């Protein structure tokens, strides 16, 4: 499918403002591939990389992992976000950032301890 891994291409993560920022952390791709394998369904990327201007327009935090290419907001059709989050949390309880929302989750490959919200 793409240039980043078997199931993901760089354009899926590109900043939505069109600035060209599309550098994605390989650890994030590895996590997403594990999720893809577990649920055996395509992962849809709502938001990946964000430049500072786009992040500000989205209301992202000043230290958002999206700014570093280490975050993705994702959903899988017919899979509740809480199920995806449970898989990630069970598999990686001491790593990464994980936020649960009504119709999607935020996952990031932050290096400073785990973070959970939502």
Nearest Cα residue to 110 out of 118, 99, 101: 99
Question: How many C-beta atoms surround the C-beta of residue 30 within 10 A?
Answer: 11
> For residues 86 and 76, what is the distance between their CA atoms, to the nearest angstrom?
14
Cβ atoms of 116 and 104 within 8 Å: the answer is: no
Give bridge partners of residue 97 from the DSSP assignment. 108, 115
Query: What pLDDT was estimated at residue 29?
Result: 98
Query: What pLDDT was estimated at residue 2?
Result: 63
Can you read off the two tokens belonging to residue 24?
A: 């994605």
Positions in the chain short of pLDDT 70: 1-2
Taking the model in full, what pTM does it have?
A: 0.94
Domain spans of the chain? 10-112
Q: Mean pLDDT of all residues in the chain?
A: 96
Kindly report, residue by residue over 76-96, the tens digit of the pLDDT. Answer: 999 999 999 999 999 999 999
Nearest Cα residue to 96 out of 38, 43, 34: 34
- For domain 10-112, the CATH class is alpha beta
């Amino acid at each position: 499918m793409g240039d980043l891994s078997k199931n993901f291409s760089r354009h899926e993560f590109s900043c939505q403002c069109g600035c060209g920022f599309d550098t994605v952390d390989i650890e994030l791709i590895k996590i997403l591939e594990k999720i893809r394998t577990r649920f055996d369904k395509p992962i849809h990327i709502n938001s990946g990389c964000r430049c500072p201007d786009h992040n500000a327009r989205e209301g992202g935090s000043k230290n958002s992992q999206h700014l570093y290419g280490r975050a993705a907001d994702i959903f899988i059709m017919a899979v509740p976000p809480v199920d995806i989050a449970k898989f990630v949390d069970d598999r990686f309880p001491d790593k990464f950032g994980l936020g649960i929302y009504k119709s999607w989750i935020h996952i990031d490959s932050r290096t400073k301890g785990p973070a959970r919200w939502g």
